[in-house]
Amino acid sequence: MYLYFILLLIFIILLFCFVTIYNSLIRLKNNIEKAWCNIDVLLKQRFDEIPNLINTVKGYSKYEKKLLSDVTKIRTNYGHAKDIHDVAKVNENAHSLISNFFMTVEKYPEIKANKNFLNLQKRVSVIENMIADRREYFNDSVMLYNTRIEQIPYNIIAKMLKYNTKELFVVEDGHKKKVNIKI
């Protein structure tokens, strides 16, 4: 009688541990997906703001068509991105484009005084900061998930569920250098 009770108690404890670990892994996995969706939303907002900036400065520069072409190319690349590496490349190209655009605009005092341009510039800067924050949060979530699925006893259940490590959102060495886009 006591043996059945002990076996039942052990089974209940093991079941409770399994459910707790399973729920923890699900929460971590979903947190990564949420963090990635937050990055995706901000990247789309940034790509929507860039053409507004270009339209604001039209007439000041004869090169806005090339800039618009570059923006269109980057947006297309973003739409075709297949994984985190592709998105990271597009993100860095867009960041470089925006940085160089703002540096070039410094040559035009009329643009810098334009209220619409100043508002858009502020909006893009806020979005850039939010992307950096969300990227950090995403990487923290991935690191926590990757660490957890490698720890005992989580690794046993993670293997049963076929959970694999996730990739961090990193900037590749080739994309850390400054890209010069002249307008």
Would residue 181 count as lying in a domain?
no
Q: Residue 85 CB: number of other CB atoms within 10 A? A: 14
Would residue 45 count as lying in a domain?
yes
Helix, strand, coil share (%) of the chain residues, nearest 5:
80, 0, 20
Would residue 60 count as lying in a domain?
yes
Closest to 121 measured CA to CA, from 89, 148, 98: 98
**pTM for the complete prediction?**
0.72
> Which pair of structure tokens corresponds to residue 27?
């929460």
For the chain, how many structural domains are there in total?
1
pLDDT level of residue 62 (50, 70, 90 thresholds):
low
Could you report the per-residue pLDDT of 120-160, keeping only the tens digit for each? 788 888 888 898 899 999 999 999 999 999 999 999 999 99
Would residue 183 count as lying in a domain?
no
Q: What is the mean pLDDT of the chain?
A: 82
- pLDDT of 94 reads 81
> Which pair of structure tokens corresponds to residue 44?
């789309």
Could you report the per-residue pLDDT of 91-117, keeping only the tens digit for each? 888 877 777 777 777 777 776 667 777
CATH number at residue 47: 1.20.1440.20
- pLDDT of 63 reads 54
Q: Which residues contact residue 14 at a Cβ distance below 8 angstroms, ignoring those fewer than 6 apart? A: none
Would residue 182 count as lying in a domain?
no
Would residue 133 count as lying in a domain?
yes
Would residue 137 count as lying in a domain?
yes
Under a CB-based contact definition with an 8 Å cutoff, are residues 96 and 181 in contact?
yes
Q: Which residues span the domain enclosing 157?
A: 2-175
Would residue 180 count as lying in a domain?
no
Helix 64-79 / helix 84-105 crossing angle, nearest 10 deg: 160
- pLDDT of 180 reads 45
